[in-house]
Amino acid sequence: MTQTRKTTAEKLGEGSLYLFMIVIAVVTLYPFWNQVVTSISDESTLYNTGVVLFPSKLSFESYHVIFQYKAIWSGYGNTILRTILGVSLSLTFTALFAYPLSKQDLPFNRTITSFVLFTMLFSGGLIPNYLLVKNLGIFNSIWALVLPSMISAFNALIMRNFFRSIPDSLEESARVDGAGYFFIFRKIIVPLSKPVIATVALWIAVQHWNAWFDALIYITDPKKQVLQVVLRKIIVDNNMDQLNAMLYQLDQKDMFSTRQLQATVIMFSVIPMLAVYPFVQKYFVKGVMIGAVKG
């Protein structure tokens, strides 16, 4: 096979592209790395230099303090519960909704799809959603954070398109053997749809893990508040009264700066997503490409 040699202009173009991507990666990753270094640095050496790439003296005492902060753990528990319920219910009902839409012979298929697309462009707004949650009797409960966003039109269309990419011959042969639609969906469609299921599950999990506005509106009990609202009070509102009171009780008030504790809380909140992402990354590209292009 003949190999075409790259011209000087092509080599310079590739080199410039790689350099540009490296710069973008550094600019993107440095703020995150800065929070990591800040959270594990000793407070006495934290402000010695303007730009800190590596901690001059390691210290994990700030994590030890955060571990004893009860509001963090209650927020963690509520967020984990919300994420598990949200992913489970959203995946189940979105898949059950998308599977019939993937059938061309479904009565009023185009009409139903048009209604789904309509909800992507227009919504009821904040006040009707608030009144709906209140009248349903789920105000100040975990269901107020899970049920309103249980089915996403975008996720349903992605899953519908992926289901359409599965050969019809598989379902036809199963129906010949006497299998019903629910059996086909559970035994054939779901196992073959792992890429799109993993992709949508990651989207839903990240959405619920990072969500804070709905919890700020619908949850009034501090014990039921999610982690992101606790994080927002510490970082955005700079409300560290409870954290400072705990430091006074531990006689460690002068050992940590506000910036260091905020960085530690940030790292503490993103660790679960960093741990989960590598396990679903292999499905991500395939699930998005097939679900977005097919159909």
pLDDT digits (tens, 9 = 90+) for 45-87: 666 556 667 777 777 777 777 777 778 888 889 999 999 999 9
Distance (Å, rounded) from C-alpha 90 to C-alpha 205? 10
Report the share of the chain in percent with pLDDT over 70.
Answer: 82
**What pTM value is reported for the model?**
0.79
DSSP for 146-207?
HSTTSS-HHHHHHHHHHHHTS-HHHHHHHHHTT--HHHHIIIIIHHHTHHHHHHHHHHHHHH
- Whether pLDDT at 266 is above 50: yes
pLDDT at 1: 45
Rounded-to-integer distance, Cα 134 and Cα 120, Å: 24
- pLDDT for position 2: 47
Computed on alpha carbons and rounded to an integer, the radius of gyration of the chain in Å comes to 25
* Percentage of residues in the chain having pLDDT higher than 90: 17
Predicted confidence (pLDDT) per residue in 164-215, tens digit: 888 888 888 888 888 888 888 888 888 888 888 888 998 899 899 988 898 9
Query: What is the model's pLDDT at position 46?
Result: 65
Q: How confident is the model at residue 290 (pLDDT cuts 50, 70, 90)?
A: low
User: 295, 160 in Cβ contact below 8 A?
Assistant: yes
Domains of the chain: 1-59 (no CATH), 61-295 (1.10.3720.10)
Residues in the chain: 295
pLDDT of residue 123: 79
Closest CA to 78 of 275, 269, 278: 269
